[in-house]
Structure 1
Amino acid sequence: MSKSFDVARERALPAPVLGRAGVPYRLAEIRLAWRNMWRNWRRTTIAVIAIVLGLILLLFMDGLIAGSDQAIFGNAVRLYGGNIQIHAVGFREKATRLPMLPLENADLVVQTARAQPQVTFAAKRINTVGMVSSREGTYAVAITGVEPTVEASYSLQAEHIAEGRYLLPDDGDAVVIGRALADLLQVGVGDRITLVGKSLSGTMRQRTMTIVGIYDLGMAEAEKLSVFITLEEAQTLYNLRDRVTEVTIGLQKVGQEQEVVAALRRAFPELEVDSWATLRPELRQTMDIKAAVSSFFAFTVILIAAIGILNLMLMAVFERTREMGVLAAIGMKGRQIMTLFLWEGTLIGVVGAVVGCGLGTLVLVALNQMGGLDFSFASGMGEIGALMATRIYFSFSLPGILSRGLMVAIIAALAALYPAWQAARQEPARALHHL
Structure 2
Amino acid sequence: MESFSLFLKVAFRNMLKYKRRTILVMLIIFVIAFLVLVYSGFISGMFDDVMRNSFYESSHGKIYYKGFYEKKEIFPLELSIRDYQSVVREIKSLYPSCVLVPEINVPTTFTYSSKTVNGLLTGSPIYIDGSLVDKYKLIKDKMIEGDLPNAGERGLVISSKMAKSLGVKVGDRVIILTTDVYGSFNAVEVEVKGIYKSPKNEGIVDLASAQNLLGLEGGATEILVYLPSHHETKKFSDAVGEVLKKYNLEFFDWKEILGIIAMTLDLTWVFNLVLYLIIGSIAVVGIMNSVLLSIFDRIRDVGTLRAIGMKRSEVFGMFIFEFGLQGVLASLVGVVLGGVVLYILSIYGVPLPAEYESYVGEFGISLVLKPALKFTDVLFSFLLGVGISVLSTIYPLMVIRKITVRELLSF
Q: Which TM-score bucket, shorter chain as reference? A: 0.7 to 0.9
Q: Which of 345, 354, 358 matches 1:383?
A: 358
CA distance in 2, matches of 1:341, 1:94: 67
Q: What do you get for the CA RMSD once the two structures are aligned?
A: 3.6
CA distance in 1, matches of 2:96, 2:355: 36
Contact 2:145–2:196 under 8 Å retained in 1: yes
Task: Verify: 1:185 aligned to 2:166, yes or no.
Answer: yes
CA distance in 2, matches of 1:296, 1:410: 16
Q: Which of 91, 95, 104 matches 1:126?
A: 104
CA distance in 1, matches of 2:290, 2:172: 72
CA distance in 2, matches of 1:33, 1:111: 66
Q: Give how far 1:186 is off.
A: 4.2
Residue 125 of structure 2 aligns with an amino acid whose one-letter code is E
TM norm structure 1: 0.74
- Counting only pairs closer than 5 Å after superposition, residues 177-216 of structure 1 correspond to structure 2 as 177-201=158-182, 203-216=184-197
Q: Deviations over 1:198-218 (max 9, x none)?
A: 54445543223333322222x
Matched position secondary structure for 2:217: coil
Q: Deviations over 1:236-265 (max 9, x none)?
A: 33333334333324578xxx52x1212211
Report the counterpart of residue 397 of structure 1 in structure 2: 374
Task: Verify: 1:244 aligned to 2:226, yes or no.
Answer: no
Q: Deviations over 1:291-330 (max 9, x none)?
A: 6665565455544543454244223212211112213333
Q: Deviations over 1:44-99 (max 9, x none)?
A: 56644543442132111111121123335533554x44343233333332233344
Contact 2:42–2:372 under 8 Å retained in 1: yes
Task: Verify: 1:263 aligned to 2:235, yes or no.
Answer: yes
- Counting only pairs closer than 5 Å after superposition, residues 267-278 of structure 1 correspond to structure 2 as 267-269=239-241, 270=244, 271-278=249-256
CA distance in 2, matches of 1:131, 1:112: 39
Q: Give how far 1:230 is off.
A: 0.3
CA, structure 1 residues 290+58, in 2 after alignment: closer, same or farther (shift >3 Å)? Answer: same
Residue 39 of structure 1 aligns with an amino acid whose one-letter code is R
Contact 2:41–2:377 under 8 Å retained in 1: no
Q: Deviations over 1:180-203 (max 9, x none)?
A: 223333444444433234544455
CA distance in 2, matches of 1:291, 1:123: 32
CA distance in 1, matches of 2:175, 2:95: 36
Q: Which of 224, 228, 231 matches 2:207?
A: 231
Q: Give how far 1:40 is off.
A: 1.7
Contact 2:178–2:214 under 8 Å retained in 1: yes
Mind listing any 5+ residue stretches in structure 1 that lack a counterpart? 1-26
CA distance in 2, matches of 1:111, 1:310: 64
CA distance in 2, matches of 1:396, 1:98: 43
CA distance in 1, matches of 2:140, 2:93: 24
Contact 1:324–1:426 under 8 Å retained in 2: no
Contact 1:123–1:249 under 8 Å retained in 2: yes
CA, structure 1 residues 264+428, in 2 after alignment: closer, same or farther (shift >3 Å)? Answer: same
Report the counterpart of residue 397 of structure 2 in structure 1: 420
Q: Give how far 1:405 is off.
A: 2.9
Aligned length: 390
Report the counterpart of residue 55 of structure 1 in structure 2: 33
CA distance in 1, matches of 2:237, 2:119: 31
Contact 2:11–2:318 under 8 Å retained in 1: no
CA distance in 2, matches of 1:127, 1:55: 48
Report the counterpart of residue 411 of structure 1 in structure 2: 388
Report the counterpart of residue 157 of structure 2 in structure 1: 176
Mind listing any 5+ residue stretches in structure 2 that lack a counterpart? none
TM norm structure 2: 0.78
Matched position secondary structure for 2:39: helix
Report the counterpart of residue 124 of structure 2 in structure 1: 146
CA distance in 1, matches of 2:100, 2:88: 10
CA distance in 2, matches of 1:111, 1:398: 39
Report the counterpart of residue 431 of structure 1 in structure 2: 408
Identity of aligned residues (%): 22
Report the counterpart of residue 13 of structure 1 in structure 2: none
